[in-house]
A and B are shown apart, each in its own frame.
Chain A
């Protein structure tokens, strides 16, 4: 009996050591936060999509060059400006071995349009989806949509049968704290499947052997996501070899990581702009002391703008790794021009004068809400802003908290003054206007409303003549820039740090594609 036990233990030891060292090539991946939910339609948020992207696929996808290419759809064509036909891949299978058909695509796109979906506005122009046979779908839009492919690249396809079986027909109602099977489990057609999910601790991705595509390096058999919130711990873990890649390496530690012989650092301009929003609709600031809302006055907004020394933030807080921004969009996005991206000058005296002219010679009190685990040095940027605004007499009280609370409370209209970052996955200015500037839009928490801008957005959505469309974009940018409805700060530069022998190509949208990873 006793020897039997000993043999059993020895055997398990051998197995464990054998597996962990000889065959498995695991990439251990870390960043400060975790995916909020595995439900691919419940949250349109960076890290959430980064995780879903390894497991789920969309009809089309962006390659390493960020260009749209085929994925679950092999070919597509428009029969008329409002109707698209997508031919589906016949060899695509979900990780449980069942084949993917047009029924799954129809189901998934309609699912992403439901009330609890965070993508419903994203694809609001899609009016109908129908299956044409097993491997073809027709998508109808309410008006001609020049950026439909860009939008579809982020609508992940789920299995209809699996969703029905597990009562996940509707997206998880994230805002209401709903718990669903799809929030903690995933079944996609992508290169990996999730075999273990411990939120905020560990997520294990194993190869999906039914995947239709080819891995760049077949040695990559497993990915582990191990979020480490504390920046110093994250760097320590990378340097001591417990972590293979960090996709949000702290800017202050890049020099040290780069100087380590076993590690390398890559940086690239990210498709994300960081900015501050000021609620201009409330009659009285929730956290103010003046009994009114100073943000209603453009002079006040401009005063805050000119009081922010963005170069100092770049040099000291971002250690040179940021590009000061004049608008909330970045090079590479349709509609961006270097001219628009110029900032108003930093000028404390001018700011003080503007503030006095607006009737606040002694400044005012307000609370600034910030996430502390979302953007590069988010809390430190906010602290710096608090100091700079203090110099013109605006007494800012900083409230930094974890991203899930920050975003939820922002959506619940609890913020007077807040930090937000905006990426443009569709690489078209429409995405920015549609979410941040359109009257009543879901992330328009400054409550900006301008009939001309709204009209321009309609043109962006339906105009197929590119010149006319671009003119509308330019006009809208001019209006919102002159209005200073947001305070743009900078375009984020992201840095990935990894072991020298682990190659995961860096991408400007900060999304790793582990199918393209390799070892040397």
Chain B
């Protein structure tokens, strides 16, 4: 309880996580890359002079400008332009933002759902626990991409098309999120089972602390670390799932393209020499997912050596 006298920064500095972090070049490099990507994507309006989705600022005559370092390149379009004259760099950053928003939202959705179910299942036990764990088993065998496609397919049938374009991003978040929750549920249930039988929980129960408070105050903090690890790796999976669905043409509409949509659109120009239209979004996506995976790997080793896939 000495920690209380220290500032939070000092607490972090003193923790084993921090020490392990500054000793791991992989972790530093990947988190730096991620920070830059996150920053640029979320403040893209401040960084790039172009808004690729404002038609009045585009000129079709700018289309197919190659990257600036090549012979026909223009300095104002660093990574060149696409077939509609949109600046590639801005388009990628805007697209990356969509990918990140979908990825994060999906992961938070599945985290809340999974942890909620896992916690309560572990805490209350009985038939309820059985049903939840059976559901997790079933869900785990169904590959995420299939689940997502299915949800999207059903949504297309249920929602009218005009609505669908507006709803697409929510459908996508739900579709990806719904397929990732079992991991969270399993971990949080296991941790809950361990904590539940500890003396302090029994004591709290005896003195009449409500179940909800016990769950949130005592058990929840103990499962944060594994959840964080799963969440990080899940984020990479969610981003890849999003780009895959968009590539297949069932993700976000082309009017608000994500990285996957950009790759799909650029694919048409792969042979005609305009390689940059598909190459840059693809490389950007790979760097993003790779960095998150590296960070996730490092977190798994550091935060929770026992946790395995």
Contacts and interface: CB of A to CB of B under 8 A. Distances in A.
Contacts of A391: 55-56
Given A287-B162, A380-B83, A399-B161, A256 B271 contact: yes
A284 to B, nearest CB: 15
Contact of A316 (B54, B56, B60): B60
Given A312-B60, A315-B61, A316-B64, A387 B271 contact: no
Q: Which of A231, A309, A367 has the most CB of B within 10 A?
A: A231
Contacts, number: 69
A383 B272 contact: no
Q: Which of B63, B84, B268, B274 has the most CB of A within 10 A?
A: B268
Contact of B271 (A235, A386, A397): A235
Contact of A317 (B55, B60, B254, B273): B60
Interface stretch (A134-142, A247-255, A272-280, A501-509): A247-255
Contacts of B274: 252
Given A383-B84, A397-B255, A399-B161, A236 B271 contact: yes
A384 B84 contact: yes
B153 to A, nearest CB: 16
A319 to B, nearest CB: 9
Interface in B266-294: 267-274
Contacts of B58: 387, 390
Interface in A197-244: 230-232, 235-236, 239
A71 interface: no
Interface in B237-263: 254-255
B83 A316 contact: yes
Nearest to A235: B271
A397 B55 CA distance: 11
A109 interface: no
A253 B269 CA distance: 8
Interface string A363-405: 0000100000000000010011011111100000111100000
A51 B254 CA distance: 32
A386 B55 contact: yes
B273 A256 contact: yes
A313 interface: yes
Contacts of A316: 60-61, 63-64, 83, 85
B275 to A, nearest CB: 11
Interface string B37-79: 0000000000000000011101111011000000000000000
Contacts of B63: 316-317
Nearest to A231: B268
Contacts of A253: 271-272
A309 B60 contact: yes
Contacts of A313: 60
Interface of B is mostly: loop
Contact of A312 (B56, B61, B254, B270): B61
A236 to B, nearest CB: 7
Contacts of A232: 267-271
A55 B14 CA distance: 81
Contacts of B254: 383, 398, 400
B55 A239 contact: no
A35 B53 CA distance: 36
B140 to A, nearest CB: 33
Contacts of A383: 84, 254
Given A232-B268, A252-B274, A256-B273, A387 B84 contact: yes
B111 to A, nearest CB: 34
Interface string A131-157: 000000000000000000000000000
Contacts of A390: 54-56, 58
Contacts of B273: 255-256
A364 to B, nearest CB: 14
Contacts of B161: 399
Given A316-B63, A316-B64, A397-B255, A230 B267 contact: yes
A408 to B, nearest CB: 13
A384 B269 CA distance: 16
A262 B287 CA distance: 38
A399 B253 CA distance: 9
Contact of A255 (B59, B255, B272): B272
Interface in B143-173: 161-162, 165
Contacts of B84: 380, 383-384, 387
A384 B272 contact: no
Nearest to B58: A387
A441 to B, nearest CB: 27
Contacts of B60: 309, 312-313, 316-317, 384, 387-388
Contacts of B268: 230-232, 250, 252
B250 to A, nearest CB: 13
Nearest to B272: A252
A387 B268 CA distance: 20
A308 to B, nearest CB: 10
A316 B161 CA distance: 31
Nearest to A386: B55
A309 B83 CA distance: 15
Given A315-B61, A317-B83, A398 B255 contact: yes
A384 B254 CA distance: 13
Contacts of B56: 390-391
Given A387-B84, A389-B55, 7 more contacts: A232-B268, A315-B61, A383-B84, A387-B55, A387-B60, A390-B58, A397-B165
Closest 3 CB pairs of A and B: A390-B55, A252-B272, A387-B55
15 contacts: A250-B268, A250-B272, A255-B272, A256-B272, A287-B162, A315-B61, A316-B61, A316-B85, A317-B63, A380-B83, A387-B60, A390-B56, A397-B165, A398-B255, A399-B161
